[in-house]
């Protein structure tokens, strides 16, 4: 059981670290948008790159923040219904939904995202605009985000299995627990 706890804590730390790092993309996105608004409105000098840059930053942010959201339980769930059940029943429902809904979605996203990114890398795809930034870097965020989300899903499944085996809630990594409640 200690090995499973170490695995889940390691995955939780990775998700927490990457999620916190990805949050800086939101700050960069904010700077890019403010820059565009100021350059357009104050100086009457719109840029050709900010629209695409903001779209790419937002896409990367969404893909890389998914495991963090799963770790911190910010996704849509059926807590209104399941909170009426015992902890064991809640964890059984969680496991069923992970295998029926979550796993197929993430595996399909990982597979199709990998194909999408690989084809972009093969041709060194660039944007259609005059700016022509490379797109293969940003498209790599799709399978990367899917893989990291799959890892976090495995951690969540293992935690629920531990609850069923031990009858007590699985404990997340201490720094992750502090981040949740602190």
Q: What is the pTM of this model?
A: 0.85
> Containing domain of residue 151, as a range?
2-181
CA distance 164 to 39: 57
Measured CA angle at 117 (ends 121, 112), to 5 deg: 150
Min mean pLDDT across 32-36, 37-41, 55-59, 86-90 is at 86-90
Name every residue whose Cβ is closer than 8 Å to that of residue 170 and which is 6 or more positions away in sequence. Answer: 5, 8, 158, 159, 160, 162, 163
Beta bridge partners of 134: 126
**Residue-wise pLDDT tens digits, 91-124:** 899 899 999 999 999 999 999 999 999 999 999 9
Min mean pLDDT across 25-29, 69-73, 100-104, 177-181 is at 177-181
Domains in the chain: how many in total? 1
**Residue-wise pLDDT tens digits, 136-150:** 999 999 999 999 999
Rg of the chain over Cα atoms, rounded to whole angstroms, equals 20
């Amino acid at each position: 059981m200690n090995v499973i706890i170490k695995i889940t804590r390691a995955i939780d730390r990775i998700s927490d670290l990457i999620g916190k790092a990805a949050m800086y993309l939101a700050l960069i996105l904010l700077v890019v948008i403010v820059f565009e608004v100021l350059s357009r409105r104050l100086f009457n000098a719109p840029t050709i790159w900010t629209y695409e840059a903001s779209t790419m930053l937002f896409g990367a942010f969404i893909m890389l923040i998914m495991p963090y959201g799963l770790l911190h339980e910010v996704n849509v769930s059926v807590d209104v219904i399941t909170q009426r059940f015992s902890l064991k029943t809640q964890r059984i429902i969680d496991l069923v939904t992970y295998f029926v809904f979550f796993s197929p979605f993430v595996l399909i996203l990982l597979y199709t995202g990998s194909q999408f990114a690989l084809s972009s890398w093969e041709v060194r795809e660039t944007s259609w605009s005059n700016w022509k930034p490379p797109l293969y870097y940003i498209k790599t965020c799709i399978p990367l985000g899917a893989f990291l989300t799959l890892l976090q899903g495995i951690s969540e499944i293992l935690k629920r299995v531990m609850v069923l085996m031990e009858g007590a809630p699985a404990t997340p990594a201490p720094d992750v627990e502090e981040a949740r409640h602190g």
